[in-house]
Chains A and B, each alone.
Chain A
Amino acid sequence: SISSFRNLLKCRFLGCTSFGAEFRRFSLDRHKPGKFEDFYKLVVHTHHISNSDVTIGYADVHGDLLPINNDDNFCKAVSSANPLLRVFIQKREEAERGSLGAGSLCRRRRALGALRDEGPRRRAHLDIGLPRDFRPVSSIIDVDLVPETHRRVRLHRHGCEKPLGFYIRDGASVRVTPHGLEKVPGIFISRMVPGGLAESTGLLAVNDEVLEVNGIEVAGKTLDQVTDMMIANSHNLIVTVKPANQRNNVVRGGRALGSSGPPSDGTAGFVGPPAPRVLQNFHPDEAESDEDNDVVIEGTLEPRLLSSLRADPRHSLALPPGGVEEHGPAVTL
C-alpha cells in the first residue's frame, strides 16, 4: 500500500534581513519520491523563490543537517522520514559559509572555533565542495583549552554502525613533578580494532595515555572504573589523551613544534604538574543532553486477554527493523 506522508518544509535565509523564515507543509509519495530535479522545482515553486539559487538540506534522525542535491540522497532523505521530513532551504552563499556539513545543527555553536581547520578555511576561502552524504565521525575539540601536548577527541558514534573499536589497559606514566620524576599509574589505549571507528579517525593510537573521559579526570580511577565511564559515555565519547606520538600535535598561535619533537615514549610530555582544571567551560552534561535519547513506544492500550495476546504477534512492541510507525506515534525524548 502506498502511504503518503507530509513534509514540513522550513525555509531559512540566514543573514538575509529581507526574508523571514517561511514554513510549508506538503506530502510526497514515500515509495516513489521521484527525481531530485522535480523536487527542487517543487520546493522552489512552493516558496516562490524560483529566482534565487538555493541549497536544500534535511535533518536526519540524529538531527544532523545533510544535503539534498542528487537523486540518491533525495531518496534516502525521503525514506528516512520518520514520518515528517524536515527540509531546510538556504541561499547558496549562506550555505557555503560552512553551515552544512560542519556538524549537526545542534553542535554548530561548538563547531565554530573548535574545529582546527575552521580558521584557515575561512581566511583562504578555499573552494571545497559541499559534503555529499556524510557526517562527522570524530573531531579534535577544545584546542584552545587543553595543553598542546594533549588532545581532546570526540568520537561521534551514533548513526554509525562501526564499533568504537579500541581497548584500554593499565600502565605506568612518568610525570615531572616538583620532586622529580615520578611514576604514576595511568590508563593507556592498548589496541585498536582494524576497521573500527577509533582507528579510522586516526586521532587515537596505541599507547596514548587517557587523561580524561567526558571531562572527568581518570587519575586515581581503576581500569574498570574508566571502562565503565567510557561505556556509559559511549554515545558521545570525549577522551582527552596524551598521544604517544607527540609529532602530530595541534600547532597553535603559529608556534611550531617542529619535527624534532619530544620522544614518542611519552616520558616527557610536558613539564610541571598537569593543569588542574582545563575544563572550565566544557560541560559534558550539556554536550550530551540532547543525544541521550531514550525511546518510548506508546502501546495501543486496548484491553486484550492473554489468550488473544498469545495469538496476536503484534502484542510485542519490540522495534521492528523497519521502524515504529506501524504501531502508532513514536516519540523521542
Chain B
Amino acid sequence: MMKFRFRRQGADPQREKLKQELFAFNKTVEHGFPNQPSALAFDPELRIMAIGTRSGAVKIYGAPGVEFTGLHRDAATVTQMHFLTGQGRLLSLLDDSSLHLWEIVHHNGCAHLEEALSFQLPSRPGFDGASAPLSLTRVTVVLLVAAGDIAALGTEGSSVFFLDVTTLTLLEGQTLAPGEVLRSVPDDYRCGKALGPVESLQGHLRDPTKILIGYSRGLLVIWNQASQCVDHIFLGNQLESLCWGRDSSTVVSSHSDGSYAVWSVDAGSSPTLQPTVATTPYGPFPCKAINKILWRNCESGGHFIIFSGGMPRASYGDRHCVSVLRAETLVTLDFTSRIIDFFTVHSTRPEDEFDDPQALAVLLEEELVVLDLQTPGWPAVPAPYLAPLHSSAITCSAHVASVPAKLWARIVSAGEQQSPQPVSSALSWPITGGRNLAQEPSQRGLLLTGHEDGTVRFWDASGVALRPLYKLSTAGLFQTDCEHADSLAQAAEDDWPPFRKVGCFDPYSDDPRLGVQKVALCKYTAQMVVAGTAGQVLVLELSDVPVEQAVSVAIIDLLQDREGFTWKGHERLSPRTGPLPWPAGFQPRVLVQCLPPAAVTAVTLHTEWSLVAFGTSHGFGLFDYQRKSPVLARCTLHPNDSLAMEGPLSRVKSLKKSLRQSFRRIRKSRVSGKKRAANASSKLQEANAQLAEQACPHDVEMTPVQRRIEPRSADDSLSGVVRCLYFADTFLRDGAHHGPTMWAGTNSGSVFAYALEVPAAAVGGEKRPEQAVEAVLGKEVQLMHRAPVVAIAVLDGRGRPLPEPYEASRDLAQAPDMQGGHAVLIASEEQFKVFTLPKVSAKTKFKLTAHEGCRVRKVALATFASVACEDYAETCLACLTNLGDVHVFSVPGLRPQVHYSCIRKEDISGIASCVFTRHGQGFYLISPSEFERFSLSARNITEPLCSLDINWPRDATQASYRIRESPKLSQANGTPSILLAPQSLDGSPDPAHSKGPDTPEPPEAALSPMSIDSATSADTTLDTTGDVTVEDVKDFLGKARTIPTSTCPARSWSAGSLAPAWPLNIEPRLLTCRLHWDLLSCPA
C-alpha cells in the first residue's frame, strides 16, 4: 500500500511523456442542428451559408465537412447576418445593437473563423427616436452597399447611418435623416408625424447608388445616394418587408395585414406611384403579416413570389408556412416549427438578366429545409448535414466503431430505399463552398440514436458532417391509440390553402411507451436489439429485401412469482398479430415482452450464442432467440422495495401521501406543544427531528440545503434496477475451463455471474445445434459500498478487454489470451475494482467518490493510440462523472492518468447523454438538437479541416488585434472549454479597447479561448511553463472573482424509471454561458 501511494505521487517523466502522446482533450465539432437559430445568411459567390443563434454563435457551412464556428463574446441573439460577398467576411448584428465583423482566415492551410472587429453603438439612454433623430438608437436593418465597403444601418429612429465596414467606423455627415426624406415627400404621403423605424433597406444589384428604403408606417422611397434625392415614392400599408426585382423595374412590398403589393418603377414615370398589383393571397378574412417576401424572375418567363406568413388569422394562424407562387401554381409549405428566415440560391451575376432560382432554403427553428425549385413539384433536397437529431426527442444513443464495409453498404442501401433519391437530373445540395481537407476517415463510425417515437436513427459519424443513413421504426409492430385520430385529421383538411407538409421535425410522440431505451448492434452479423419503455425487447436482423412475416412474441415474467406486488405503471404495448409487411432494412424477428412492463434499463446481445439479455427495475432475463425460448429470469427486487413495483406513476402518489402524513405529524406535534407549554419548544424540535428522520427520502426536496449522511442500505428504493449486463467467454467455474458467462449488475451493488451451457456450433457452421441453453448461477458478489454497478468487463490474461463476439474470428483482431489469469472489472458509481477469476478476490481498486467526491455516470473501455508511435496503443478506462469531468484510468492497474473538465455539472442531460467510442472519442448532447464531439485521444481526432477560396486582398495593416478564437474551443452553448495541454495563458489587452494597428499576433500555439486579462493582479499569475490543470484555472478564476454558483433544481437523476426526454429548455445553460464568458473577460 505504501509503495502504491508512493508511486502515485511520484511523477515518472517517461510516463508523463507517454501520457502526452496518448491523451489530449479536444472538443472538436458540434453535430446536428444549431440550437435556437435566429439569423441566416448566404454568400452566393462562395456558396456558403451562415446561421446565427440566440446564444451568440455563428456557424458557417459549405460543402459537407466544411464548417466554421465562432462565438460572440456577449451571448446576445444574432439578429442579422450579411456576407461581404466573395470575401469570406460576415457582418453580424446582435440584439444589443452591436455589429461584429467576422473573417475566415487561413492558418497553416486551414481556414478558421475569427472575429476581426466589433462596433458598439454609443448608447444614449433617455433619447427616443423622435426627439433625437440623429442619435443612433437601435439598428433595425443592415444593408451592405458599394461592394461591401459601406454598410447602411436603418434605425428605429427612421434615420439611415453609414458605416465604413473595413474599420467599422461611422461615416459622419452622411447620415440620412428622416427630415431629408420628408422634404421630398408630398404632404398626402406623410403618414403621421414620424416615418416609423426603418423596416427594410434594399440595394440594387446593378445600380449601387440607389437604395430602397421602407419605413414601418408604409412609406417606401428609392433614395439616390449620388444625387442625394428621392427618385420614387410609394405609400403602402404597415410595412413588413421589401424586395427589389432584378430588372429594377419591380418592387414588391409585404404588409402586416397579410397583403403584398407589386410596384413598377419606370424611370420616366412620376415620382409618386400606385401599385400595379395589391393582393391578400389568403384573404378575404383577416390574415397575419407577411414577414418576408422575395421576387425572383425566370428565364422561362414569369416569376416566383416566395413569402412567409400571411395565413388566415382565424383558421390557420398557428401554422408556420412559406408560400411559393409561380404563375398559377401555389404551394403552401407547412412546417412544424417557426420560420426564422429563407433565401433562394440564384444567379447573382449582374450581367445575367434573370434570377433563375435553383433552390429555396428555409431555416426553421428546428431544421433547415432546402427545396429544388427547378424540378417540377419542388421536391426537398436531402441535407448532408444539419440533421435535426431531435426530430423526435433522443432517449438513448450508442456508437459502433469500425463498421465493416459490407454492413455499411447494406445500411446505406436500406436508407436509400427508404427515401428515394431524386432523379439524376435533379439538384444536388446547393451549398457547396469550400474544400474539405480532412483525410478520408480510416474507419466507419456509426452513431445510433434511439428516439421517443420508437425509432432508431443511424448516423454516419465517421467525419465532421453527421449524415443520416437509415431510420428504423419499431412503432409498426405495435397497436397504438393514435392512428385513428391521425387519419381523421388528414381527411378533415381542406384542399385550400394547398398545404404540403415539409420537414421531418415531429416532436409529438404517438405513445410514450414506444420510446427506445437501449440499443445494441452486432456489426458482424447485422443483428440488433432495441429495447423500449414498456418492457419490449426486439431482436432485429438486417435484410436487403422487403418481406411479409409474423413476429414471434415471448413473454418473460421477471417477478418470478414474487408475491405482494402489484404493478401500477403503464400497460404493455400490444403487438399486431399476423404477418406484417417489413421494408428492406432491419426487420424484427422476435419480440420479448418483460412483465411487469417497466422500462428496459440494460440490454446486451451475443450473436455467436444467439442470446439476448435484458434487465428492468425488477430483474433480468436471458432469451435464446435462435430457439425462441427463454433461458433464465431472475428477480432482483428487494422484498422491502415497493416503489419499483408500483411503477412510475405511483411515485407521485407516494410523495403526496408522505407530505400529507408529514403535515398531520406537524399538526399533532403542535397540539402536544400547547398541552405542555413548559417544554413545548423542545418537544417541537424533537418532533421535527423525528419528522425529518421518517420523511427522509423526501426532505431533501423540502430543505434543499441539507443532506443526510447515511450509508446505503439494502432496502433503498429501486435497489433492484438492473444497470448493466455483459456476456463473456471466461473462467467462472475453475481456472482450467473457460466458457460462456453472463454478468448482471444492479443498483444496489450486487453482481450476479451465471455460467452458461451453450451448445457448441459445429466447426465451420454458423448456427449452433438446436439444444437448450442452460444458465446456472456461478457467483454472486455484493459490493460492500452498495453503489450501483454501472459496467462490468472481463479482461484477458494480458489485461485487455475480451473482444466482441465474432471480432477475433472475423476482424483479425488479436485473439484474447485464454491461458487463464482473467480478471473482471466492476465499475460502480463510487469505485472501480478489478477482481481475479475464477476465484473472485479484489486485485486493484480505485475509490473515486471517496477521493474526489464525484460519482461515476458513464464508463467505457477505450483504446488510445499514441501519436508518436504508429502501433503503440493502450486500453484505458474512460469515465464521466456527475461533475462533468472525464477521467482516464489505466487498466487493469486502475491508476488515474488524466482528467479533464468536459461538461458543466449543471448540464444533467448532457452528462446523461454522453457516449464514448472505442477509440477515445465521445459525444454528448449540448442541446436537444446538437451533439458535441470530443476526443480524449491525442491521435484519434475528428475535427473540421477545410479551406475556402477568398478573393479579397488581405491588408496586413488592416488586421488589427484579433480575438483569438479557435473554432472548436468556442461553443455555441458555452460549455466551458478548458485546454489542459501545456499552453500559455498570455494576457492580452482587451480587444474592445485596443485598436492599435500592427499588434503582433500571438503565436500559433496560443489557442487560448479566453483572453484572461493582464489586468488581473500580479499575485495571481499562473506558472505558464507547467501543466495547467482545471484546478489551476478554477483557482485562478476564484481569485479573480467569486463565482456565483447556480445550483440546478434537478439534482438527482435515477436511471430507474422512464428515462425522460432531454429537457428542451436550456435557458440556464445560456445564462451560465454568459456568466462564464463574463468571468473570463472581465478584469478583476
Residues of A that sit less than 8 Å from B by CB: 157, 163-170, 190-191, 193-194, 213-214, 216, 218, 220-235, 237, 283-286, 289, 292-306, 309-310, 315-317, 319, 331, 333
Contacts and interface: CB of A to CB of B under 8 A. Distances in A.
B57 interface: no
A298 B847 contact: no
Interface string B813-852: 0000000000000000011010000001110000101111
A295 B781 CA distance: 6
Of the candidates B561, B708, B840, the one having the most CB atoms from chain A within 10 angstroms of its own CB is: B708
B849 A303 contact: no
B693 A229 contact: no
A234 to B, nearest CB: 4
Contact of B709 (A231, A300, A302, A331): A231
Contacts of B854: 225, 228
Nearest to A157: B711
Interface in B863-919: 883
Of the candidates B633, B690, B780, B847, the one having the most CB atoms from chain A within 10 angstroms of its own CB is: B780
Interface string B712-752: 10000000000000000000010000000000000000000
Contact of A223 (B630, B707, B830): B707
A167 B784 contact: no
6 contacts: A194-B686, A227-B708, A229-B853, A235-B711, A297-B782, A333-B842
Contacts of B630: 306
Interface stretch (B11-19, B388-396, B445-453, B769-777): B769-777
Contacts of A170: 705
Given A224-B1051, A225-B854, A232 B830 contact: yes
Contacts of B781: 294-297
Contacts, number: 157
B710 A231 contact: yes
Contacts of B705: 169-170, 223
Given A167-B706, A168-B706, A216-B851, A191 B692 contact: yes
Contacts of B847: 232, 285
A305 B772 contact: yes
Given A228-B853, A296-B780, A309-B632, A164 B707 contact: no
Contacts of A232: 785, 787, 830-831, 847, 849-850
A233 B1045 CA distance: 26
Contacts of A226: 707, 853
Given A293-B784, A294-B784, A166 B709 contact: yes
Given A294-B782, A299-B755, A306-B633, 14 more contacts: A167-B707, A167-B709, A169-B707, A213-B853, A223-B707, A228-B830, A231-B709, A232-B831, A233-B850, A237-B709, A294-B783, A298-B778, A301-B755, A306-B631
Given A224-B707, A229-B853, A231-B710, A296 B840 contact: yes
A8 B852 CA distance: 42
Interface in B770-807: 772, 774-785, 787
Interface of B: 1-2, 5, 560-561, 630-634, 686, 689-690, 692-693, 705-712, 733, 755, 757, 772, 774-785, 787, 830-831, 833, 840-842, 847, 849-855, 883, 1034, 1045, 1051
Given A227-B707, A227-B709, A317-B780, A333 B841 contact: yes
B780 to A, nearest CB: 4
A289 B1 contact: yes
Nearest to B631: A306
A13 B634 CA distance: 51
B774 A292 contact: no
Contacts of A300: 776-777
B779 A298 contact: yes
A154 to B, nearest CB: 14
Given A231-B712, A303-B757, A305-B772, A169 B706 contact: yes
Contacts of A296: 779-782, 840-841
Give 9 nearest A-B pairs by CB, closest first: A225-B853, A234-B711, A232-B849, A299-B777, A227-B707, A229-B853, A297-B780, A295-B782, A232-B850
Contact of A168 (B709, B733, B852, B883): B709
Nearest to B756: A303
A293 B749 CA distance: 12
Contact of A297 (B779, B784, B883): B779
A227 B830 CA distance: 12
A193 B784 contact: no
A283 B1 contact: yes
Contacts of A234: 709-712
A77 to B, nearest CB: 24
A285 B1 contact: yes
Contacts of B709: 164, 166-168, 227, 230-231, 234, 237
Nearest to B853: A225
A300 B777 CA distance: 7
Given A293-B784, A303-B757, A193 B707 contact: no
A295 B850 contact: no
Nearest to A311: B561
B782 A229 contact: no
Given A285-B5, A306-B631, A163 B710 contact: yes
A220 B634 CA distance: 44
A295 B784 contact: yes
A164 B693 CA distance: 12
Contacts of B841: 296, 331, 333
Contact of B689 (A169, A191, A231, A309): A191
Contact of A319 (B772, B782, B784, B850): B782
A315 B707 contact: no
Contacts of B785: 232, 235, 292
B881 to A, nearest CB: 10
Nearest to A183: B1042
A288 B693 CA distance: 28
Contacts of A316: 634
Nearest to B749: A294
Contacts of A305: 772, 774
Contacts of A233: 850
A287 to B, nearest CB: 10
Of the candidates A167, A237, A289, the one having the most CB atoms from chain B within 10 angstroms of its own CB is: A167
A289 to B, nearest CB: 7
B850 A229 contact: yes
A178 B883 CA distance: 32
B706 A283 contact: no
A166 B708 CA distance: 6
Nearest to B851: A216
Contacts of B787: 232
A214 B849 CA distance: 11
B561 A310 contact: yes
A314 to B, nearest CB: 10
Contacts of B690: 194
Contacts of A225: 852-854, 883
A319 to B, nearest CB: 7
B287 to A, nearest CB: 54
Given A169-B705, A221-B853, A315-B777, A194 B689 contact: yes
A168 B1 CA distance: 32
A230 B830 CA distance: 11
Contacts of A309: 632
A294 B841 CA distance: 9
Contacts of A168: 706-707, 709
Contacts of B733: 301
Contacts of A292: 784-785
B632 A306 contact: yes
B778 A301 contact: yes
Contacts of B560: 310
A18 B883 CA distance: 61
Contact of A193 (B693, B776, B783): B693
B828 to A, nearest CB: 10
A164 B710 CA distance: 6
A299 B781 CA distance: 11
A76 B731 CA distance: 39
